[in-house]
Structure 1
Amino acid sequence: MAQGRYGRHVRRDPHVAARGAALIGLLVVCVACIAAWFACNRPWAGTGSDNGPERVALQRDSTVPEPVVRHPGNSPDCPDDDCIAMLVNGDLLFHPELWVNFEGPDTTATDGTAFDFDPLFEPMRRYIDASDIAVCEFETPIAERGGPYAGYPVFNIPPEVADSAARVGYQACTHATNHSWDQGAEGIQRLTSTLDSLGIAHTGSYNTEEESYEPLLVESPTGGGTLGIVTGTVSLNALTPDYDWRVDRLRDFGDPNHDSDIQKAVDKANKAREQGADVVAIAMHSVQEYLTDADTWQVAEAHELADTGAFDLIYGAGCHCAQPIEQYNDTWIIYGLGNALTVDAPPENIVNNQGITARVQFAGKKGQPGTWRVSRIDWLPTANKRQGVYQWCPLSEDHPDGVCWSEDYDAQVRQRIWDVVYSMGADQDVVREWKITDEL
């Protein structure tokens, strides 16, 4: 193709020209739309005052979420929003050879001065203060103030035991044991009314059938949540109450009442949750004594209760001996806490003079079922004497109050109980020996 003198002739592609025209048309349409939107909405317009257009402040939804209020309580390392630290220990088992050491000037006095058991309980205080809810096991009925009193086999112990339990800080007690019917309905009435008068919540034996179907709920004073407590005993020492509802039972396999006992315990646990309990614990009272291993009833009964899924913790007393801790089916079981306070037993039953105090930490979110679990168990071996004097005594390796028997013997007992506690494979990252000086 020839070139003109004004340069090379450029051949135009009609398709390119068409595309360019389309783009220009689209741009014109967009500009027109934007102009129309501004004309209609006039975002700069104010109220139309003579001073000209006013700017309208941009409104934004600036809701700030409320902060989560945590209630770690007295637990040392609460891993969630809320925690409840429950302290439990073994039987308050009082024989005449024990209470005679704490007599007042007049053991027939009815004003609370017949006995003074405060020195016996007092060393517990620092451990109770390091917990949220402390729960005792009241092994026996109590006498009227001023007596008469009675020891084994049909107990009727000084009521000043309950006075001192309240003063040291117990908020609740269970009392479904093999001695619950020792003094019949009158004994139950004396114990329950005395605990009521002292402000100690309680469950296990009852004055009315209606009461027997109600679970015990205890609100944590630190705000962490609500604890439900259920209990039951395998035996009443062959005694038969006037009504079966008098004492919570967990009778053995083969007993015609076994299934109904389990169902009643589960029903009470479920009712506790309906009434606001975040966690539910059950206390089992056994009768096979001085065993380092859990007996067949304890294991079978605890496993059956755990299989129901109704309980966050199962713990036991009655064997008068320290026993293993086990995690079964995601439920923690403390088989035997031994004795909290008791008289010396002869050498062949030396384990009677020892016990365990445990602080069980439940963690979760208050009011939210399904969030709660046992996150830690601190256990403490204990003795019934300090330097020959009856007094609750921690056998802790850190000796916050000095030795109980002697350095060597304390170490032997502590090691024996350590071996027992872990004999069923308890996870040592969860189950830990309690050394309170580390927390202080």
Structure 2
Amino acid sequence: MNLDMLHPADQLVMFMERIYGYGMTTTSGGNLSILDDNGDIWITPGSIDKGSLSRRDMMCVKPDGTVIGRHKPSSEFPFHQHIYKTRPDIKAVLHAHPPALVAFSIVRKLPSTNLIPNVKFSCGEIGMAKYGLPGSQDLGDKISEEFQKGFNTVILENHGVVIGAKSMFDAFKSFETLDFSARLEIDAQSLGTPNTLTPEQIDWYKSRQYVVMDEFVEKHMSSEEKDIRRNMCKFIKRAYDQELFTSTQGTFSQRFGEDGFIITPSGMDRKYLEPEDLVKIMGNYKEMDKVPSRSVALHQEIYRQHPHVNSIIIAHPPCMMAFAVTDAPLDSRTIPESYILMRNIPKLDFGMNYLKPKETAAVFKANTPIALIKNDCAIVTGDSLLNAFDRLEVAEYSARAIIAARDLGDVVAINDDEIKDIEKAFNLPE
């Protein structure tokens, strides 16, 4: 989907639906705006249900102050206007009150941007604006002061977060990534002290190059391939809706043919992926004019080494990632279903999936279908896309249960004799 072709009013509706739908703001909370090429500011209305906004509800404020629309602009329009005047490079502003970021705002601490690499280069450094009365000139001045310092992401004391960017999609990506990281940090704190990445590790991650591959022209697409692409898109959107990864992170692939597979593209919004967006890989060739995920080499190596693997998912589920950024082990011996699907879950060093794809691929044996990459991701394999997705869901639910259980008492694992009974009853491979 080319968002540049959408009218600002349509973009505001689209992204407010996503923000509200994912529980990142309330019926009356949050506001979005876009500055168009004419200097008009399009903004969400005040005192209107955020769960049922339409294009007709969007407000337009002209450069001379004329207001067009059937409602009033958001009461926090002043700080949106302040930001645009302060930072001419910013064309979209997003303000919301997601619980995790509000938690940081009411203890007046900044969330870490060093737990996973994407946060630092998506959000940059984060500012903190002093408390001000909502809708007041004072609050607008305090927020603008932080943006004048060069921050694009600002936490508001006892309030929420404001993000400015060159487009609403970029603002949303930063917002979504920061909220994910904040939730991750809160969960990780319950497991122990989170391990952070060094600036050098983050810089290295950002500089990773795409795998150079020769191209082929797709001349014919079989019914089988069309079905695979359609099914992949269904599960990708499902995973996104379940917050197992963010809009531009997370990779799905499925084996196709003797020496090929189909994989998600790099950088495209997972919410709106269509079958034609997916990238076909045949041997060392990629589909022409498409950019596959940067993890394509790892997927290729796993398929080469393990004939039993037919699907791979790389995701960033917040509860699983809490284990990936701490020293706490993710133990599958919680309930029988978890052990049956998860088995052994090793942790691999940060960057190993890119630096050593062959060694990383070798980890995924029949009794080790999942691995965590420290401070990066979870890698899940399966004999089918459904099997891999089920495994991912169970792993995230299990991680969530363990985190919740720690507040109730000591976690009691299934003992060795009981594990042997499960292995025998379900014919689990050694």
Q: TM-score range by the shorter chain?
A: under 0.3
* Structure of higher RCO (CA pairs closer than 8 Å, 6+ residues apart): 1
Which one has a bigger Cα radius of gyration? 1
Richer in helix (by share): 2
Richer in strand (by share): 1
